[in-house]
């Protein structure tokens, strides 16, 4: 027996999401979240850098999966093909978590603070993908634009995916968005 109940971080995340969903993000204090998890405010901030971060621990996993897909792309693939090679594992992960993603997206949509955090996570992701491309020998300019394009496709498709009911539609929605983007940018 350990001294503390296990998985304090997970308890905090669950308590936070439940409270945000019940009564809203702003109306929920960190002390409330901690209390529901059987902990204190000070301990919350030992596990999460700030109140928003409790909703974004998954962004690391997203980045890891995407970069795995990038690393697995064939050596002769175009920069954009390398980026989109990351979409397969990503789609798979999200498909298994459609309901959770919807609840979380609803919370974020209602709060500009949380949208800001989401956007900077996507920008960090863009930066990581750019670095991976440069590592493969892609020029800095092409890398940054290919990464931006891929993340935009993900972002747009994600928004469409949470708005509809089919959990398996994510991969298809990303392909459609990419096709539409191609047709928009075609001179």
Partner DNA sequence: ACGTGTATGTCACCCGGTGTCATCAACTAG
Partner DNA sequence: CTAGTTGATGACACCGGGTGACATACACGT
- Positions touching DNA (CB under 7 A) are 1-4, 8, 28-31, 34, 38-43, 45-47, 49-52
User: Is 169 among the residues that bind a copy of itself (CB under 8 A)?
Assistant: no
Query: For 102, what's the count of Cα atoms within 13 Å in the CB-facing half-sphere?
Result: 13
Query: What is the C-alpha separation between 1 and 117, in angstroms, rounded?
Result: 38
Of 102, 111, 152, 169, the residue at the interface with a copy of itself (CB under 8 A) is 152
Q: How far apart are CA 12 and CA 5, in angstroms?
A: 12
**Site for a copy of itself (CB under 8 A): which residue of 31, 71, 110, 120?**
120
Q: Which is nearer to a copy of itself, 30 or 146 (CB)?
A: 146
Residue 146 touches which member of a copy of itself, DNA, none, C-beta under 5-8 Å by kind: a copy of itself
State phi, psi for 64 to the nearest 5 degrees: -60, -50
What is the SS3 assignment for the chain?
CCCCCCCHHHHHHHHHHHHHHHHCCCCCCHHHHHHHCCCCHHHHHHHCCCCHHHHCCHHHHHHHHHHHHHHCCCCCCCHHHHHHCCHHHHHHHHHCCHHHHHHHHHHHHCCHHHHHHHHHHHHHHHHHHHHHHHHCCCCHHHHHHHHHHHHHHHHHHHHHHHHCCCHHHHHHHHHHHHHHHHHHHCC
Q: Which of 116, 135, 163, 166 binds a copy of itself (CB under 8 A)?
A: 116
User: What is the contact mask toward a copy of itself in residues 22 to 41, using x (rule: CB under 8 A)?
Assistant: --------------------
The C-alpha R_g of the chain, in whole angstroms, comes to: 19
Q: Which stretch binds a copy of itself (CB under 8 A): 17-25, 85-93, 102-110, 119-127?
A: 119-127
Residue 156 binds which of DNA, a copy of itself, none (CB < 5-8 A, kind-dependent): a copy of itself
Give whichever of 34 and 90 is closer to DNA, judged by the CB atom: 34
x-marked contacts with a copy of itself along 39-78 as a string, rule CB under 8 A: ---------------------------------------x
- Sole binder of a copy of itself in the list 8, 77, 131, 145 (CB under 8 A): 145
Candidates 8-16, 94-102, 146-154, 162-170 — which segment interacts with a copy of itself by CB under 8 A? Answer: 146-154
């Amino acid at each position: 027996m350990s001294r503390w109940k296990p998985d304090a971080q997970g308890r905090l995340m669950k308590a936070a999401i439940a409270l945000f969903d019940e009564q809203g993000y702003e109306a929920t204090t960190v002390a409330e979240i901690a209390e529901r998890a059987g902990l204190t405010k000070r301990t919350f901030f030992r596990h999460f850098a700030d109140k928003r971060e409790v909703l974004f621990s998954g962004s690391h996993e997203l980045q890891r999966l995407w970069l795995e897909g990038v690393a697995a792309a064939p050596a002769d693939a175009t920069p954009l093909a390398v980026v989109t090679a990351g979409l397969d594992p990503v789609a798979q992960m999200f498909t298994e978590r459609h309901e959770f993603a919807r609840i979380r997206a609803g919370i974020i949509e209602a709060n500009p603070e949380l949208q800001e955090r989401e956007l900077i996570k996507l920008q960090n992701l863009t930066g990581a993908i750019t670095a991976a491309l440069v590592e493969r020998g892609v020029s800095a300019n092409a890398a940054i634009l290919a990464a931006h394009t891929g993340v935009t496709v993900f972002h747009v498709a994600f928004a469409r995916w949470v708005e509809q009911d089919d959990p398996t539609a994510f991969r298809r929605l990303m392909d459609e968005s990419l096709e539409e983007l191609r047709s928009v940018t075609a001179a």
